[in-house]
Each structure stands twice: as C-alpha cells, then as structure tokens.
Chain A
Amino acid sequence: MTKATPRFGRTELPDRQADVLKASIRIQWATLAFLVITIVLVYLVLGNSQAMKAAWIEDLLSLAPPLAFLIAVRIVNRTPTMGNPYGFHRSVGVAHLVAGVALFVMGAYLIVDSASGLLSAEHPPIGSVELFGNVIWLGWLMMGVMALTIPLPIYFGHRKMALAKELHDKVLYADADMNKADWQTAVGSIVGVAGIGIGWWWADAAAAIFIASSIVRDGVKNVRAAVTDLMDSRATTFDDGKPHPLGRRVVDEVRALRWVDDAGVRLRDQGHVFHAEVFVVPRRGKVSLSELEDARDRLIALDWKLQDVVLVPVEQLPEEVGGSLHDHQSERNR
C-alpha cells in the first residue's frame, strides 16, 4: 500500500487516471461534508412534514454511495493474496449492492408510510418557530433550507459523471446519477410544504410519495446494476449502455498474431478493472511458451483496465466466446 503511485490492485494507474481518482476522492469528501451540513439543517426544521421526512431520509441514504466509494478505493488498493487470488476489486460491487438495497427498502417504507397518511387523511400540523426574537411559520424555514440544498448536488452530479466515465466506476456513476436527480427531491418537499401552507393537507403526503418513488427507482437501478456485475455478465461501459469496446480490441489484437487461428474472450468487470480469459486456437495446434507470454504482455499494454489476463490455448472456441460447435468451457473435452 504505497501512497506514491495510486493503483487498483496490481494495476498502476496512468497519470491521467491517477489524477481523476484524486479528483473523485476530493469531490466525494466534499459531497460528504455537504450532506452532513444538509442533514443537520434539515433535521432542525423537520417538523411534522412527511415530505421533509422523506427528503431527510434520502439525504441520509445519499451518504452511502460516497462512503462506499471512499472505502472501496482503499480496499481495491490491496494486491491479490493467497486468500483473495483475484484481488479485492469486488468490494466495489458489494458496496454498490448494499447501497442499492438500502435505497430500495427505505423508499418502499416511505411510500407505505406516506400512503397510509394520505388514506387516513392525516392533516400535518406545522406550527411556528422563534427565530431571532420573531415568531415565524416553520414552513418558511423548511422551504428556505430545501431551496438551499438545490444547486450543489447538480454541480456534484455533473462533475462526478465525467469522472465516473474516465475511471470506469459504476458506484461513482450511480452516485452522480442520484445527485443529478436530487433537486427533484428538494423541489418536491418545497411543493409539499407550500401545499400545507395554502391549506392543502394532502399535498405533503403526495409530495412524499413522489420523493419516495424516486428513492425506490434509484434503489432498483442500483441493485440491478450491482447484481449484473456480481453475476459476471458481459463487461459493459460505465453506464451499462453497451458492451465494453475493450472486448473487441482484445480479440482483434490476438487474432492479428501470426500463430493464432482464432480467438475469443471472456471479460469480467471487477469494478474498475477487467479480468480477461482469452481463448486462443493456435495455427496447426502448436504454440510456444514465449509466444503466449508475448501475447499476454501485448494485451496488458492495451489498456490500464485490463489486468489478470489468462491465455487458454484450445482446439476449438467455446460457444460463449463465439465458437460455433456448441462446446462450452464448463464441459469436458471430447
């Protein structure tokens, strides 16, 4: 664990990614500081508004992704050991899953809680508060505090989105996505409290349901993404938009070698880096150790994300990496 060179496992990061990592760590600390201040402020004006409660809980839960990120970048730093031969990259996926489940459960609870308040026609009481010797309606303070929490998360979100792409970090991406949508929560609770203000008792619970459903949506999105990665699905781009182009490049690189007849790859997304199992069909069934070593070095040099490259010389490609004979890697040779 040297401090000098930032690394993910055995991968020393290129300068550019190392800078991005540093910037990401800084912005996550800034997010944490902002959230702690927001949580305290909102707690002070919480009152009896269900919408405010929902917004407050969402703020509490938003602590999880930055915390998960900051812990994960420390853990993935460790090099693989006998006990953990694949390294510690999956800590990112675990953190991602935990955050997603927390969001989903809390959001679902808030929907039930708010809906029951709406159905039993609970009229939320919001009284006054003494501020600098003046007695004012607490609702004004609530709306003021929520309005204050709008601009920064939008900035954080956009900034983190760019960093997440560069680092190929899905936790950071999910976090950025949530930050970008966070203003809706604030506006939702402002509308809810304003509704109470003009005598619409139902506006508060309705706003809370709106906020809670956005929390549930975040939860589902995060759980799905985390499970996809933990299931070793095909590696995708950071936003799960399309298959990651690196798979194609690996196959092209290997196929271009003179001794190679055909090649296919299983690429798994470990969090930041990819582990690759490259199946190679050697021409005339022959390959030397030095040719394999050379191919491996070429692949590692392709991209910083590519690490733990395993080359498997085979007679035929398994079907899952593009073979045509319905053989699978999990079956014995005929």
Chain B
Amino acid sequence: MSKSPGSVAVALIAVALLSGCGISIPADPDGTLERVTGGELRVGVTESVPWTEIEGGGDPTGTEVDLVEEFAENIDADIEWSEGGEADLVYRLERGELDLVIGGFTDTTPWTSKAAMTQPYAESTNPEGKTAKHVMLTPMGENAFLVRLERFLLEGEGEQ
C-alpha cells in the first residue's frame, strides 16, 4: 500500500521532468501549434452572418474572422482561407488539411466526434430566445493548439 502514493509521486515527478526538458504540456501529437506559429494557419470558413460573411472575390469578414485574424497576428501566422460547407470543412480538418474551422458553430454542434471544439467564447440569443454559446472547431487531440487558441479567446489576449 505504501507503493501507491509513491507511484503517484513518481508519475508527477516524471511529468515535471518531461516538462522541464522542454516538452510543453499539453503537446500536439501532430505538432499543429509548432507548425502554424510563424507559419501558415489554414482556416476553413463557412458562411454564418454576422459571425462570418463571404463576399465574392475578397477575404471573408465578420466577427469570428476578425478574432481569427487577431489570433494569427498573435502567433505570427499568415492565414490561408478556404471556403466550403460544414461537412466538407470538418472532413478536411479531420484529414489534417485545415487547422481551424469557423462559421457560427455553437457548443451543441454535432461534429464533436470529428472535431475538438473550443470553450465557448461568446454568447448570442437566437430568435426563440435561447442562449447559444459560440465555439470554433480545431483538429482532434491537437491540445497545445487548442489550449493556445482558448487562452487567446478567453483571456482576450494570448501573450504568454
């Protein structure tokens, strides 16, 4: 029985050592945050006014688009926008062809088994008077990227 608290201590020390060795926790299995920082952030966008608005020719606009642009600036990334329907964008997110999908998603989105949603960062009231909590979709299990984005969305800034 004295083994058990000991093994926890060992586990915690191991975690502490690993984090000391430069592995930040949480880490991305596929290295998304590392790749997009100072690189290219591939964002899928589907239209949902006023969160996202797609006008012929130019880059998308809308409140979510503004947030993503600010986030990209924050991590020194250039955005490559892709437009499409939800199913198509989530499919590409799953295949690792996109890093982020936006378009007025709420925390009741049915895509949760295919995409990781962020914490709700904004609320709105729909026509029936119900509160909708807004989220963005990130690749499954890319936790460092997810936490970095959430930190930006929730704290209103992203500086570490």
Chain A residues near B (Cβ < 8 Å): 48, 122-130, 135, 137, 139, 143, 147, 150-151, 154, 158, 180, 183, 186-187, 190-191, 194, 196-201
Contact = CB atoms under 8 A, between A and B. Distances in A.
B142 A127 contact: no
Contacts of B27: 197-199
Interface in B112-149: 116, 118-119, 138-144, 146-147
Given A126-B146, A151-B5, 7 more contacts: A48-B116, A123-B29, A125-B140, A128-B151, A137-B147, A158-B1, A196-B141
Contacts of A198: 15, 18, 23, 25-27
Contact of B15 (A154, A183, A197): A197
Given A125-B116, A199-B28, A137 B7 contact: no
A12 to B, nearest CB: 36
A190 B9 CA distance: 11
Nearest to B9: A147
22 contacts: A122-B140, A123-B29, A124-B140, A125-B116, A126-B26, A126-B146, A127-B119, A127-B150, A135-B150, A139-B143, A143-B15, A147-B8, A150-B8, A154-B4, A190-B11, A191-B11, A194-B11, A194-B15, A197-B27, A198-B15, A199-B23, A200-B29
Nearest to B31: A199
Nearest to A126: B143
A21 B13 CA distance: 42
Contacts of A137: 25-26, 143, 147
Contacts of B154: 128, 130, 135
B159 interface: no
Interface of B: 1, 4-5, 7-8, 11-12, 14-15, 18, 23, 25-30, 116, 118-119, 138-144, 146-147, 150-151, 154-155
B138 A125 contact: yes
A156 to B, nearest CB: 11
Given A127-B147, A197-B15, A139 B26 contact: yes
A194 B27 CA distance: 10
Contacts of A190: 8, 11
B150 A123 contact: no
A269 to B, nearest CB: 29
Given A125-B143, A130-B119, A187 B7 contact: yes
Contacts of A128: 119, 146-147, 150-151, 154
Given A194-B11, A196-B143, A127 B5 contact: no
Contacts of A147: 8, 12
A121 B7 CA distance: 28
A158 B4 CA distance: 14
Contacts of B7: 187
Given A135-B151, A187-B8, A190-B11, A129 B119 contact: yes
